[in-house]
Amino acid sequence: MAGNFELERLRKRLHTAVLPEPSDGMPVAAVAIILDPNKRGAAVLLIRRSERAGDPWSGQIAFPGGRKAPSDRDFLETAMREAKEEVGIELREHELLGSLPLVQTRTRRVQVMPYAFQLRGPVSVHGNQEVAESFWVPLSVLANIRATKTKVDDVEGRLSVEAYIYNAHVIWGLTFRIINLLLDRK
């Protein structure tokens, strides 16, 4: 998808059924890929997580999301609840496009279900204590950014990782992999 990003192409690639919870007992989380079609063709909302002791994703760029709560009926409800808590967006008022494939974190043994939503109108983003910053990234820009090797600090120490650099934000790890799925990059 060089040059631009087409929401209709994405819509055709997404799963439309709510997938069942895996039966292997691994922890489960879900993220909300929130797309604004009115921002430079389409833009995605990303957050920078607050710095918190004991949080393995502390300070990282991410999609709004988190672990499935016992009260969540399914992955979809987890993604919507987490988006409301973390960025103040009620996704029930917007269009669910579908989900990307289940993604497993490389080191923390958590499975993550990414759900894509298209906004139906303007929203105001209000981060909670888990969010240090939120920002919109045009998907046409992401589609044209080349991944680069960069050094990041992680709970495991200093790592050399593939990442996208956008306005000094280093997008790596699970978020990098989900963006590649979103952009249909292999």
- Specify the CATH number for the domain of residue 57: 3.90.79.10
Asked whether residue 175 is domain-assigned, the answer is no
The string of pLDDT tens digits covering residues 20-72 is: 566 566 778 999 999 999 887 799 999 999 988 877 778 899 999 999 999 99
Single pTM value for the model: 0.90
Domain that holds residue 65: 7-17+26-144
Q: What percent of the chain has pLDDT over 70?
A: 91
Number of domains in the chain: 1
84 Cβ contact partners less than 8 Å away, ≥ 6 residues apart: 90, 91
Q: What is the DSSP string of 67-133?
A: EPPTT-SSHHHHHHHHHHHHH---GGGSEEEEEPPPEE-SSS--EEEEEEEE-SS-------TTEEE
For 116, the token pair is 């894509």
Give the number of other CB atoms < 10 A from CB of residue 52.
13
